[in-house]
A and B are shown apart, each in its own frame.
Chain A
Amino acid sequence: ELKVEQNPLFLSMQEGKNYTIYCNYSTTSDRLYWYRQDPGKSLESLFVLLSNGAVKQEGRLMASLDTKARLSTLHITAAVHDLSATYFCAVDSQGGSEKLVFGKGMKLTVNP
C-alpha cells in the first residue's frame, strides 16, 4: 500500500529566508504532484513531476523528484507572506495512474 509522508507538517519562517520541505513515498512511482491550498479554498496544482530528476520552478518555489530515493523536495527561496498556505504532495499509486495518494499537507506560515 502506497504511503506518502510530508516533513515537516508545520513550518513558521521569516520573510526572506530559504527552506526545503520533503515528501517521501513508500512504493515505486514516477509521478508526483504538488498542490497548494489556501484556508477555506480548494487545491490548486503547482507542479507536475513525471520522471526521475524532474525539476520545475515557479517564482520562489522549486520542486524536484528523485524516484530512486522516493523523495521529492519543495524548495522555498526568499519567502514572502503570500506563500503562506498548506502544501500537499500526491503520488500516483503503483501499477497504474488511477489513484492519487496525498500526504497530510504542510502548513506554512511566513511571518513579516
Chain B
Amino acid sequence: AQSVTQPDIHITVSEGASLELRCNYSYGATPYLFWYVQSPGQGLQLLLKYFSGDTLVQGIKGFEAEFKRSQSSFNLRKPSVHWSDAAEYFCAASRGGATNKLIFGTGTLLAVQP
C-alpha cells in the first residue's frame, strides 16, 4: 500500500540552528512529492514540490528538500531556523492522474527555542 512516513513526531531546535525533517515514502513508482506547512488553526501552505529533474528542490521561506530515490526519502531542510518557522510540517505524495489524491505523513511539529 502507498504510504508516507515522518518518523519524527516532535522536533525542537534553537533559533538560528539548521533543520532537517525526515520523510520516507512507499510507492510502486516515484510519486510526486510535497512539503506543506500548517500554522496553528490554519490551512496548509505548500512549501515546495518535486515532480522530476533536479533532485534538490528550492521552496518558499528558505526551505529546500532533496529527493533521494535510493533511500525513498524527501527530507526538508533549512540552514537557519527562525522563530516564525514554528509550525507543523507535512510531507505528502501523489501519483497524480485523474483523481490526484494526496497521501500525507503524520506530520512533524517543530518548536523553535529562542
Do A and B share a complex?
A: no
Identify the A interface with B (CB < 8 A). Answer: none
Identify the B interface with A (CB < 8 A). Answer: none
